[in-house]
């Protein structure tokens, strides 16, 4: 009985924190607290409560908001299919091949992979020159990650930190996370839980004015995506830097040859 009371007290406190979060609209991205998603937030809180009580799983506020929006989008997509009898084909992500940077620049693609159950993450990045040749690449496994976006931010932070430390001055950081790009370019308000990491990235990029960030679909980010996914399965958490990427050389050469066609 005492255990049940403690669980419910914890859940009540979490809900109070959540509603304080929703009430502070000026501190969070508008798209995450719009009126249309309130019912989905309440539904997600109820599901979180059940998972916490019966499975011991706990979710923070950011993860709850993101999941609520995913629930809403999934429901809307199903309703649209029902309306037209399932005749509408699902929208496909635009296909875009990787393209090298201009001469004297390097392009660094970053990506992250996240396991929701274990909360382990893998980050990967690869920097290439204007001929598509590997300059540097990084792979690192992370633990206790709270969201996929946090892993994406960590991948970007490590890449910018490493390349600026190596003295590179003209770097295009390319990510397939549109939210990350918007946060760094200040198109979206900073999320408080990610603020220290985002501020570090912004400061490093401000100090190195030749650094810029762009968005590309995942089809143009295949090598970084592969590194991140492979890294998330590593047993070791020791960061790894590569000047030769033997285990992905075929994929790197494939993207290079596709550009040259």
Q: What is the pLDDT of residues 117-133, one digit of tens each?
A: 999 999 999 999 999 99
Give percent above pLDDT 90 in the chain.
Answer: 46
User: Considering the domain boundaries, does residue 91 fall inside one?
Assistant: no
Does 75 share its domain with 114? no
Please say if the pLDDT value at position 27 is more than 50.
no
- Name the range with the highest mean pLDDT among 9-23, 36-50, 195-209: 195-209
Please say if the pLDDT value at position 256 is more than 80.
no
User: Considering the domain boundaries, does residue 97 fall inside one?
Assistant: no
Does 112 share its domain with 160? yes
Query: Taking residues 89-93, what's their average pLDDT?
Result: 49
User: Considering the domain boundaries, does residue 62 fall inside one?
Assistant: yes
Does 137 share its domain with 223? yes
Kind of pairing, strands 134-142 and 211-215? Answer: unpaired
Stronger pLDDT, 170 or 252, i.e. the higher one: 170
Which one of 16, 49, 83 terminates a domain?
83
**Residue 239 burial (10 A CB sphere; 0-12, 13-18, 19+):** middle
Residue 10's domain comprises 2-83
Does 175 share its domain with 54? no
Does 181 share its domain with 256? yes
User: Number of structural domains, the chain?
Assistant: 2
User: Considering the domain boundaries, does residue 256 fall inside one?
Assistant: yes
Radius of gyration of the chain (CA): 21
Does 110 share its domain with 239? yes
Does 54 share its domain with 117? no
User: Considering the domain boundaries, does residue 255 fall inside one?
Assistant: yes
Q: What is the pLDDT of residue 108?
A: 97
The vertex-79 CA angle with 77 and 83, nearest 5°, equals 120
User: Considering the domain boundaries, does residue 99 fall inside one?
Assistant: no
Mean pLDDT of the chain: 79
Q: What is the pLDDT of residue 65?
A: 75
Per-residue 3-state assignment (H helix, E strand, C coil) for 58-126? CCCHHHHHHHHHHHHHHHHHHHHHHHCCCCCCCCCCCCCCCCCCCCCCEEEEEEEEECCCCCCEEEEEE
Rounded Cα distance between 157 and 162, Å, is: 8
Q: What is the pLDDT of residue 24?
A: 44
- Give pLDDT tens digits for 224-243: 999 999 998 888 899 999 99
Give percent above pLDDT 70 in the chain.
Answer: 70
Query: Taking residues 139-152, what's their average pLDDT?
Result: 94
Instruction: Name the residue with tokens 């033997």.
Output: 246
User: Considering the domain boundaries, does residue 96 fall inside one?
Assistant: no
180: domain CATH number is: 3.30.420.10
Rounded Cα distance between 67 and 69, Å, is: 5
Does 244 share its domain with 137? yes
User: Considering the domain boundaries, does residue 101 fall inside one?
Assistant: no
């Amino acid at each position: 009985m005492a255990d049940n009371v403690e669980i419910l007290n914890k859940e009540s406190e979490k809900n109070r924190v959540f509603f304080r979060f929703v009430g502070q609209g000026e501190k969070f991205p508008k798209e995450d607290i719009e009126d249309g998603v309130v019912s989905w937030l309440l539904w997600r809180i109820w599901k979180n409560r059940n998972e916490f009580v019966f499975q011991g799983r706990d979710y923070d506020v950011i993860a709850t908001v993101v999941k609520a929006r995913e629930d809403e989008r999934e429901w809307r997509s199903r309703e649209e299919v029902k309306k037209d009898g399932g005749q509408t084909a699902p929208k496909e992500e635009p296909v875009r091949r990787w393209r090298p940077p201009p001469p004297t620049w390097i392009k660094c693609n970053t990506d992250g992979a996240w396991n929701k159950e274990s909360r382990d993450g893998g980050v990967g990045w690869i920097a290439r020159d204007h001929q598509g040749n590997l300059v540097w690449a990084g792979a690192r496994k992370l633990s206790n990650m709270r969201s996929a976006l946090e892993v994406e931010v960590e991948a970007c932070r490590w890449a910018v930190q490493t390349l600026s430390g190596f003295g590179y001055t003209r770097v295009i950081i390319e990510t397939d996370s549109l939210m990350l790009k918007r946060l760094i370019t200040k198109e979206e308000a900073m999320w408080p839980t990610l603020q220290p990491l985002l501020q570090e990235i912004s400061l490093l990029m401000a100090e190195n004015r030749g650094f810029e960030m762009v968005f590309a679909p995942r089809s143009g980010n295949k090598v970084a995506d592969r590194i991140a996914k492979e890294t998330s399965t590593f047993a070791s958490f020791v960061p790894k830097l590569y000047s030769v990427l033997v285990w992905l050389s075929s994929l790197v050469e494939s993207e290079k040859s596709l550009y040259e066609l």
